[in-house]
Structure 1
């Protein structure tokens, strides 16, 4: 089986870009990735374009990738549009890796772009409404919120302002974790404080102000135990990667020693299970497949970017991936184990909570960070001696878990 490389990456700043279009953001990220790889546009043999909300926000359906890429002179090659909830960008990467690994192409582009920020707040927040079964909304909501039973939210711990229903669901997952393992709101706040601290060192992050645990706890509540700084913001942005095999790498003009190997990449959908049966969680299943594919163990991982749409998400994923013992994700953050300088740094980019979460670009934003770490080019947020890096990107809801998760292992 051919070795697959990521030869180049590019990423826009994540944040509010009201004056820029999906085409503008795509152009910036793709041009940066091409330059990083030393790749000409004419060398691209196919492209996978990820986007999740342009249809909802702008009415642009069906040919988003063809239009965004043609606007920058990329045409005449196969372009596949990828929509897979918040895992869209990592799914685009997965498909690019599979195409290169199969021998069908030597040099492939994976790109994700999203424009979510709008003056129309109702439309903006409604973009998330299709990420679960729209024919079973009330039953789905009841099933998911039931996970939080047994832990009573204190008075005044729910926001009176509009917010996504998914925050209520993450909150229920957090209360389930509190009930099962004794985790605390302060531990979830430690995750958020860590990530806001990391983002200070990331020039592409949406938020770059450090916060203490006390500040996170004192911030406006959203849905107990979540406060505002524990949540990812609504964001615009784009990220891209040039994927190739050894033959393709030789044809590029970039420094081949900066290329990063794709050790494994798996895509997993969920299945029916009881809420407390975390042994059969889709991310745990995907992690077993990924480690087997790459021939490594969780303890071999030096750095990880995980899907922290809320701080609770990071706690859950760190455990499901085997990076910390079951039930100790919050405790590990509280002890500093998952911070820069700790045993297993998680989300050195600042994570979704601080770097931002333009959902069709998020997975490739994670890959941008990990490639930068593996190259030793992350500056003041650099994790020393990185050899193996892990990305976990999930999306949507089905049953009592994410509808899909994509995991990627990268190495030098």
Structure 2
């Protein structure tokens, strides 16, 4: 199979960008990624713009004045998995020989929404049970958290430890929105959002950010070559009445396919960026990704294996809990972070001797399925 390389990557700091419009934010990441790759707009043959809430033809609006010369622009929306889906679609086109060098970027400006939780279904209040009932994602994950505490004999402090780990990592990351370390006591004492999840166990909902990657079939000359070893996007299956809400089936299925595609296993992964929108999510994904056996997620966390310096550091960027979660940008930003680790450009949070990295991003809440979409990518040198 044709090798697919990442030629360059960049992201803006995640946070409040007061007075900066979404197109300007995206343009910063795009131009920095091109510079990182040593390429010009004229070298790009197609563009994939990932965004959730920015409106129609956002990609064309963003690149209009950057000199790309009327090449195809594909706008991609797949909830929180939008950015990862953009990379997935770009890889398909590269493998098909349609292009040899493309740009993928993600952008979201959540501060423009005015605050509050992000609705699960903005336009489907008549047909979707969750939307009709006013369900929000903190409540969904709180139910999973409550069940986890009951079935696994875990404590609230175990959930809080995830936030402590990731906030520490975020304190080392100049691109993270939250750059203050915290303690278990501070996490548990923060304002309750949806029992048992407190404020510091939920990713910030007021965040802007953009990230971009240049992907192609030619071997890059500027940096240590990093390949896309596997790229998988799957949709959720219809749930049955007795489905286990702690079984992240959609992510486990995507991970199995990604490992098979790359000819690798969980034991080969050196660094992970996963979708920790809530602390309980990280623990569930340890098991779904095969990093821990069923029922052993807390044990993996407590062993220190997923901390910086551990066997398989998870969310060295700070994850969504500290770095922030601008929806369309997240999947691309995860890959930028892994790219930097594989090229030994991650600074104070660098994972030593990393050769294989994994990114995982789920997206969308629909009544009757685990998630609407889940993506898993494996990158390697």
TM-score category (smaller protein): over 0.9
1:178 is aligned, of 131, 149, 166, to 149
Judged with a 3 Å threshold, the aligned counterparts in structure 2 of structure 1 residues 141 and 135 are, in CA distance, closer, same or farther, namely: closer
Whole-Å separation in 2 of the counterparts to 1:193 and 1:280: 23
Specify the alignment match of 1:268 in structure 2: 234
Aligned-partner SS, 1:108 = strand
Instruction: List alignment gaps of at least 5 residues for structure 2.
Output: none
Q: Specify the alignment match of 2:87 in structure 1.
A: 93
Q: 1:277 to 1:354 in 2, by over 3 A?
A: closer
Distance 2:146 2:88 in 1: 33
Distance 2:303 2:190 in 1: 22
Which deviations, in whole Å up to 9, do the C-alpha atoms of 1:56-110 show, x marking residues without a partner?
xxxxx2x110111113222410100001001111111111111111111100100
Matched position secondary structure for 2:361: strand
**Separation in 1, partners of 2:123, 2:343:** 38
Match of 1:155 in 2: none
Q: Which residue is equivalent to 1:238? A: 210
| Cα contact 2:255–2:289 (8 A) shared by 1 | yes
- By how many angstroms is 1:330 displaced? 2.8
Q: Over the residues paired in the alignment, what is the CA RMSD in angstroms?
A: 1.9
1:191 equivalent among 141, 146, 162: 162
2:92 and 2:190 map into 1 onto residues whose CA distance is: 44
Report if the CA contact (8 A) 2:248-2:370 is conserved. no
C-alpha spacing 1:325/1:133, structure 2 compared with 1 (3 Å): farther
For the pair 1:130 / 2:102, whether they are aligned, the reply is no
User: How far 1:141 moved relative to its partner?
Assistant: 7.6
Within 5 Å, which residues of 2 pair with 1:214-229? 214-229=185-200
In structure 1, C-alpha distance between the alignment counterparts of 2:189 and 2:213, rounded to whole Å: 39
Choose the corresponding residue for 2:264, options 296, 300, 306: 296
Q: What SS is found at the alignment partner of 1:258?
A: coil
Residue 409 (structure 1) aligns with: 378
CA contact (8 A) 2:248 2:285 kept: no
In structure 2, what is the Cα distance between the partners aligned to 1:167 and 1:393?
17
Report the Cα distance in structure 2 between the residues aligned to 1:266 and 1:134, rounded to whole angstroms. Answer: 30
Residues 139 and 243 of structure 1, relative CA distance in 2, 3 Å threshold: closer
Structure 1 residue 135: deviation in Å? 2.9
| Equivalent-residue separation in structure 2 for 1:107 and 1:207 (angstroms) | 34
**Which of 359, 362, 372 lines up with 1:394 in the alignment?**
362
TM-superposed CA distance for 1:128, in Å, is: 2.5
Q: How many residues align?
A: 377
- The offset of 1:265, in angstroms, is 0.4
Report the Cα offset of residue 392 of structure 1: 0.1
Provide, for residues 16-70 of structure 1, a one-character-per-residue CA deviation record: whole Å limited to 9, x for no partner. 1121111111110001110111111001000100110113xxxxx2x11011111
Indicate the residue corresponding to 1:52 in structure 2.
52
TM superposition shift of 1:313: 1.0
* Contact 1:183 1:327 (8 Å CA) reproduced: no
From 318, 330, 333, the counterpart of 2:286: 318
Contact 1:132 1:396 in 2 (8 A): no
Unaligned runs of 5+ in 1: 56-60, 146-163
TM-fit CA distance, 1:180: 2.5
2 CA distance for matches of 1:170 and 1:141?
18
CA contact (8 A) 1:205 1:349 kept: yes
